[in-house]
Amino acid sequence: MVAPDGSLVLFNSNRPLPGETAAGDFNVWACKKTPGGWGAPFVLSNAINSDSADVYAGMASSGNVYFGSRRAGGIGGMDIYVSRFVDGTYQTPVNLGAEVNSPGSDSNPYIAPDESYLIYASGIPNAQSFMISYQINGRWSSPMELPVSSDPAGSMFCPMVDPHSKTFYFARTRVENGKRIENVYYMPLSGLKLEALRARATVLTDYAGTYKVEPANGISAIKIWKENGKLYGAADGQQTLQLATTEVPDQLMIVENGEKVHFFRTKTEQVHGLKISMPEGDITAIRQP
């Protein structure tokens, strides 16, 4: 992947690290562009590479590097991490969390130059879709699937956007006569409908907890919790509903069949308050200590 300013190219390699003779797991390497061409490969940063596979790195204009890694302590088989570039030094990588990573394997990240969105392959090595997550007020939104056709017998990987030509590139495999074939495809960026997806983006919050209801109306408590990066709510054993947030401050919503319905209004005072608007009427709840 080429850095936004074209000065650096990042790639993964299992070649021996400096001072070693044997090949190991994949690491993130780089080459700098010089007047005479590309310079010699070098390890991008020891802070980024680990004893496990670290692959498919992409760089934002800030210098922050997003990449896939199988290092210990992740959420799935492979997770997406970011190493922030601060005062000329790469920091210890941070897992993007359950908002982005799934219990499966997620990798091949493409990060927008301004870090406003992230596109990646989910379900590798047999990914059937690309996911997109938007960064809203410093938080990653719940991932949504991009409208890119797949081959059930193959897989998809290496998404990339050329912001200059407004083109989306990606690789896809297919199987013909028992032979695996890999090709690179492209399509107009407009076909991804990024602005429409951005309008639907929702961010999980930390509203997890149990809420008691006032005044009494037959429901004594509302419980809200996180599970696998999603937010859920239920009241007294009633149907569990998936929740999400909007860009409007202090507003939650119920998600049914992928559609946003029934808005939650919240307010923060000495206690964490929650007002839930539902078809049968309003329920006012305060969080239990």
Q: For residue range 175-221, what is the model confidence (pLDDT) as tens digits?
A: 888 888 899 999 999 999 999 888 877 665 555 555 555 444 445 56
pLDDT score for 267:
39
Asked if the structure places residue 51 within a domain, the reply is: yes
pLDDT score for 167:
97
Pair 195, 214 in one domain: no
Pair 68, 185 in one domain: yes
Half-sphere exposure of 173 (CA within 13 A, CB side): 16
Pair 29, 71 in one domain: yes
Pair 107, 246 in one domain: no
Residue that terminates a domain, selected from 164, 183, 200:
200
pLDDT digits (tens, 9 = 90+) for 216-240: 444 556 677 777 666 677 666 566 7
Average pLDDT on 4-29 reads: 92
Eight-state DSSP code of residue 92: P
Pair 82, 174 in one domain: yes
Asked if the structure places residue 55 within a domain, the reply is: yes
Asked if the structure places residue 1 within a domain, the reply is: no
Other C-beta atoms lying within 10 Å of the C-beta of residue 233: 22
Pair 185, 217 in one domain: no
- pLDDT tier, 269 (very low <50, low <70, confident <90, very high otherwise): very low
Average pLDDT on 118-146 reads: 87
Q: Provide long-range contacts, Cβ within 8 A and 24+ apart, for 100-103.
A: 100/133, 100/140, 100/143, 100/229, 101/74, 101/75, 101/76, 101/229, 102/75, 102/76, 102/228, 102/229, 103/75, 103/76, 103/228
Asked if the structure places residue 17 within a domain, the reply is: yes
Residue that terminates a domain, selected from 165, 181, 200:
200
Q: Which domain holds residue 269?
A: 209-287
Q: Residue 182: which residues within 8 A CB-CB, separation 6 or more?
A: 171, 172, 173
Instruction: Give the three-state DSSP class for 165.
Output: coil
For the chain, the domain total comes to 2
Residue 124 has pLDDT above 60, yes or no: yes
151 or 256, greater pLDDT:
151
269 or 25, greater pLDDT:
25
Pair 229, 92 in one domain: no
1 closest CA partner among 59, 64, 62: 59
Pair 278, 180 in one domain: no
CATH number of the domain at 281, please.
Answer: 2.40.128
Pair 92, 147 in one domain: yes
> Is the backbone of residue 125 left (phi > 0), alpha (psi -120 to 50) or beta?
alpha
Residue 58 has pLDDT above 90, yes or no: yes
Residue that terminates a domain, selected from 153, 173, 200:
200
Asked if the structure places residue 121 within a domain, the reply is: yes
Asked if the structure places residue 3 within a domain, the reply is: no
Asked if the structure places residue 2 within a domain, the reply is: no
Asked if the structure places residue 221 within a domain, the reply is: yes
Pair 236, 165 in one domain: no
Residue 43 has pLDDT above 80, yes or no: yes
Tokens of 286: 């305060």
Q: Is 269 in contact with 279 (CB distance < 8 Å)?
A: no
How many whole angstroms separate alpha carbon 16 and alpha carbon 230? 40
